[in-house]
Structure 1
Amino acid sequence: MTDGKRRRGLAAASALLGGVLVLSACSGGDDSGSGDGGNDTSQAQVDEAAAKKSSEAQIVITPKDGSNNASINNSATVKVSKGTLSEVKMTTTDGTAVSGEISADKKSWKPSVQLERATTYKVTATAEDSEGRAAHENASFTTVAPDNSFIGTFTPDDGTTVGVGMPVSINFDKAITNKAGVQKGVTVSTTSGQEVACHWFNANRMDCRPDEYWQEGATVTLKLALDGVEGAEGVYGVQQKTVTFKIGRNQVTYVDAKTKQMKVTQDGKTVRTIPISAGSPENKTYQGQMVISEKFKETRMNGATVGFTDDDGEGEYDIKDVPHAMRLSTSGTFIHGNYWGAKSIFGSVNTSHGCVGLQDAKGADDPNTPGAWFYDNSMIGDVVVVQNTGDKTIAPDNGLNGWNMSWEQWKAGSAV
């Protein structure tokens, strides 16, 4: 063998042996191997050290990252276990900050303002464990959109004092098909202990009342627990609210279109009798129990808005400063002051287009007129019972006038 061939042979043998050694090392070898076994032990020590450096604090953000149709009431809560919160930031996608508060024990956080519908929010939270090691969590979610949610506009308002006839009336901005589910989320109770039942007039309106008028001095509580309740397919409630109102003195007024006199009673006793002028024979006033739903010291009344027009389509009347007007129906029945009629008509002849008129002064600035007195001594929710007009009884849903249904009829309209 020449010297060149011998060198090439040794190189090949060396490469072959090297390959065997590499294969032997990759296959693990025996436990007595000196180099690579030591590297495994070193890596385990690194992993253990890294674990010891990780925070034990565990942060949970509700709702989960990427959620849609999130609640505007109960979303964006941040809680931590095995640690305490050190910082929470919440913003809208345009960077607007949302204020919030960390609890006294630093275990939770929530917004201090009402969230908006159809808005995407981002939450970042930092917490520390007992060793001071930090943990971080992030989430983004979108609240329920108006098209996918419903709200109920209710009356009376929180904290008000109303008359004994005032029902709780809720008008929903979406048609409700799951009436039972929604009604179960609405609770009305009274300190008088009276049973309260709810009645659906249609898919958008539900009123609640007791069998008889509310008891004087009672406190009524309305609870709306509608957050997340499916009112219709894909449409969810967003309200979570408690409202209380008080029942004032018991005042019921009786209007007699035949005698053309109005008797105002409190606790069943007559406190004043006032001459009136009701609807004319051609435009009779509705009969029945009506509830004052609005009060206006002065308001405009145009016949065109309630169907009284002349041949040119103009209103048969247009009075821009009707004094001391109180609404009794949605369709336009009022009990109000009248300064344009002669004083002689009150108590003697019915001349109106369907309203009940009381003698009054232009400008609503004379406190001594019957119209001013009745206005000053009336409140939202007072009952006005109109009798002997010769017209039909007002529809129960025309205003807040559900008292014109029997208790049995009323409860028959409940969904639960």
Structure 2
Amino acid sequence: MRRGLAVGALGGALVLMATATGCSEGKSAAAPAAGNAAAALPSAPPAKPTGSAAVVSIEPANGAKDVKPAGALKVSATGGKLTTVKVTGQDGKEVPGAVTADGLGWAPTAGHLEVSSTYTVSARAADASGVTATAESSFSTLTPTKDAGTSDNINDGQSYGVGMIVSVSFDKAVKEKDAVLKGITVEASDGTVVKGHWFGDNRLDFRPEKYWTPGTKVTVHRRLKSVETAPGVYGGADKDEPFTIGRSQISTVDLNSHRMTVERDGQVTDTVPITGGKSGFDTWGGVMVAEAMEGTTRMTSNGVTRAGSGDEYDLVVPHAIRLTDSGTYVHGNYWSGSIGSANGSHGCIGVQDVEGGSDGSRAGKFYNSTIVGDVVKVVNSKGDTVSPENGLSGWNVPWGSW
């Protein structure tokens, strides 16, 4: 009995012990601790993408040739925003440009590249995660085969009168007028504002609002070499042309009094008897400018009078100062009895002279005192006002319309 009880008791103890062990395991922190340990570990950062969502595109494509200097260069981004764009010419100079406000595009601010040049482009963009993408390109611009035939009426270092107008002409009609206008600037040493005005498709004139100030240094900057003036046509060589404004000489021709009053730097220096255009051949009214000093010139009535009208003439004229393209002059006159008393010419302004011309005559003295750019203003004409494109007569256009 005791042995059996002992065994039972022992068995009970084992059971208890087993139960106790089981309770101990049930209450143990080991199982929950494993879960808590996992929860306590720091979160692993999400893996960064191996590539950028941003894509950079460059036009023209790498290796492109004969690229137009204007409008062809473009850099853009999708899936991100541009951060840097660098365009470098073959001379090592960087092309100025700007990224758009939305960061999606870039274009040169200068408007056009140079012809016959090679450019390299390097661009970078970043996506929303900051991962960047890059692209590079190299291309060359075209070499022009057609020239606009650009020229003007300025001689380097020359001195001109206060009424001088810079006139730029083109052999081929200009279609891109705004681009050409941006490509020519006229700089004055005293800061005078100078604006351009188109007369048709082949002529662009420049002047300030009022006559130039004597002594002003002026430079014409022509930057048309890389400007497309018309499809496939470019503006020719770039050049700078400096000139100076000399003393002021403004002469007023009064067709009623038959006198020309000459003012030098604001002071009357001479009053000269003249003859102007007779009825039917009235001298143009308005402001004209001496555009050429032609000296002795042959003048005929071809295109002026009708054959058999009695108004034909064929004369060798001394001291001829051209005022208009259509043939208005101040010139020496040795054949008319109307000087100082009536208007008897075919439109020109005649001043007393001798045949062959004399420096001592009234015409000779006026000629020798005149330079290209001097102003000749005609008042009391019974004819029309001179057309502003006839010679350098643009002063007849109001500044607001220039």
Shorter-normalised TM range: 0.5 to 0.7
For the pair 1:308 / 2:305, whether they are aligned, the reply is yes
Runs of 4+ in structure 1 over 2 Å off: 64-70, 77-80, 141-146
Q: How do 1:177-326 residues align onto structure 2 when only pairs under 5 Å count?
A: 177-304=175-302, 306-311=303-308, 316-319=312-315, 321-326=316-321
The CA distance in 1 between the partners of 2:217 and 2:328, in whole Å, is 29
Shift of the 79–172 alpha-carbon distance from structure 1 to 2, 3 Å rule, reads closer
User: What are the Cα deviations for residues 344-377 of structure 1, in whole angstroms up to 9, with x where unaligned?
Assistant: x21101100000000001112x221100000000
Match of 2:366 in 1: 374
Partner Cα separation in structure 2 for residue 191 and residue 241 of structure 1: 18
SS in 1 for 2:401: helix
Aligned equivalent of 2:323: 328
- Counterpart position of 1:347: 340
Matched residue, 2:36: none
Return the TM-score normalized by structure 1. Answer: 0.62
Q: Larger C-alpha radius of gyration, 1 or 2?
A: 2
Q: Name the CA distance, whole Å, in 2 between partners of 1:172 and 1:145.
A: 16
Which aligned pairs between 1:13-412 and structure 2 lie closer than 5 A? 144-146=144-146, 149-304=147-302, 306-311=303-308, 316-319=312-315, 321-342=316-337, 345-364=338-357, 366-410=358-402
**Change in CA separation of 1:165 and 1:247 when aligned onto 2, cut-off 3 Å:** same
**Deviation sequence 1:329-348 (CA, Å, 0-9, x none):** 11111110001123xx2110
- Which residue number corresponds to residue 83 of structure 1? none
- Gap regions ≥5 residues in structure 2: 1-62, 70-88, 93-140
Report the Cα offset of residue 163 of structure 1. 0.4
CA shift for structure 1 position 151: 2.9
SS at 1:182 equivalent: helix
Distance 1:318 1:192 in 2: 47
Question: 2: CA distance between counterparts of 1:69 and 1:316?
Answer: 56
Distance 1:223 1:79, change over 3 A: closer
Deviation at 1:194, TM superposition (A): 1.1
1:185/1:78 Cα in 2 relative to 1: closer, same or farther (>3 Å)? closer
8 Å CA contact 1:299–1:323 kept in 2: the answer is: yes
Residue identity over aligned pairs, in percent, reads 41
Alignment RMSD (CA, Å): 2.7
Q: CA deviation at 1:145?
A: 2.6
CA deviation after TM superposition for structure 1 residue 78, in Å: 8.8
Letter in 2 for 1:339: Y
Secondary structure of 1:221's aligned partner: strand
- Determine if contact 1:260/1:350 at 8 Å carries over to the other structure: yes
How far off its partner does 1:282 sit? 2.4
**Distance in 2 separating the partners of 1:252 and 1:389:** 18
Q: What count of residue pairs does the alignment treat as equivalent? A: 276
CA deviations 1:18-64 (Å, max 9, x no partner) are xxxxxxxxxxxxxxxxxxxxxxxxxxxxxxxxxxxxxxxxxxxxxx9
Q: Which secondary structure state, in structure 2, belongs to the residue aligned with residue 150 of structure 1?
A: coil
The answer on whether the counterparts of 1:162 and 1:246 sit within 8 Å (CA) in structure 2 is yes
1:312-334 Cα shifts (integer Å, max 9, x gaps): 9x981111x20000111111111
State the one-letter code of the partner of 2:145: A
Report the alpha carbon displacement of residue 232 of structure 1 after superposing the two structures with TM: 1.1
Structure 1: 5+ residue runs without aligned partners? 1-63, 71-76, 81-140, 411-416
